A = this chain, B = another copy of it.
């Protein structure tokens, strides 16, 4: 019985070799290390390859070379617009480096993060983790074993890109205090978030420096829906201004304040973090700490590439990206003027 005439399979190196009358190995070299093969032979091979529509099988290639030319990008919640920015940045940069992006949502779970990384181990050459929930120990152990870059997570020995939101928080405090706010609430994010702690500390430090009071409420899950609870909690503190863990929460708060008839910024000022899509056109437009989110994704990729291409020498790079306060309509003078006029402004 003759074998079926159909040949739905994709052409392999063997096909190209047969078509151009050389050995498989020669074709392989012609395609991957052009200088190793004679120009005329190479031309013949390239023509044959093109005519056959040959493309290398990535699995087979990965098997021998150990290189997959793809990078896993872990985000803790694809739902969060902040990560869209990261994804955009990594996507752009990975593509231009000829890599493929494996996008994974870890759902804020350290276990899932760990399990995914293990399960896909042979599918990627390196990893970019945004807002990891892993312990320092585990993260640095991981970084020792596989090329990895963390975004917004500084851990000893782990290459990272840090968006310096605490810096912006400092500016936010100055902005608020200069407007007469003396009591500032912080609507906290998840306890497992490293960034959350950093922002809170920056807020406290800034307030202390300028003689303002801070009250922390929360934690809240960084989602818009949680903004309602956060808004109510903030109202209870008697603060005239608040800083939210991130814009998502802040936008949610804005909605709740409107619902309750609390005027922003007349009754209360709201400051967010990140400057995500929407922060500029919500109502009122949100005063926030603008973070170079996309850039963070791009920088993360470039640090990763350095590790990958490099000769194995530990790169152990750590980039810090500055942020700035973007003042929009959601913040303004404090509702109730302070009992004592801000004479202390020229203290010294």
Which residues of A are at the interface with B, using a C-beta cutoff of 8 A?
8, 10, 53, 55-60, 62-63, 68, 70, 78-79, 81, 84, 87-88, 91-92, 95, 100-105, 118-123, 145, 251, 254-255, 277-278, 281-284
Copies of the chain in the assembly: 2
Contacts A59-B62, A122-B59, A281-B278; is A102 near B101 (CB within 8 Å)?
yes
Residue of chain B at shortest CB distance from A68: B59
Residue of chain B at shortest CB distance from A255: B281
29 CB < 8 A contacts A-B: A10-B122, A55-B118, A55-B119, A55-B121, A56-B122, A57-B122, A58-B59, A58-B123, A59-B59, A59-B63, A59-B122, A59-B123, A60-B122, A63-B63, A70-B123, A78-B91, A84-B84, A91-B103, A91-B105, A92-B105, A100-B123, A101-B102, A101-B104, A102-B102, A102-B103, A251-B281, A278-B278, A278-B282, A282-B283
Contact of A60 among B53, B63, B91 (CB under 8 A): B63
Q: Are A120 and B100 in contact (CB under 8 A)?
A: yes
A78 to B58, CA, bound (A): 25
Contact of A122 among B58, B79, B81, B104 (CB under 8 A): B58
A65 to B131, CA, bound (A): 35
Contacts A57-B122, A278-B277; is A100 near B104 (CB within 8 Å)?
yes
Complex contacts, A102 vs chain B, CB 8 Å: 70, 100-103
Query: A15 to chain B: closest CB distance in Å?
Result: 14
A10 to B121, CA, bound (A): 9
**Among A60, A92, A103: residue with most chain B CB under 10 A:** A103
Complex contacts, A55 vs chain B, CB 8 Å: 118-119, 121-122
Complex contacts, A103 vs chain B, CB 8 Å: 87, 91, 101-103
Query: A224 to chain B: closest CB distance in Å?
Result: 8
Residue of chain B at shortest CB distance from A279: B278
A81 to B145, CA, bound (A): 35
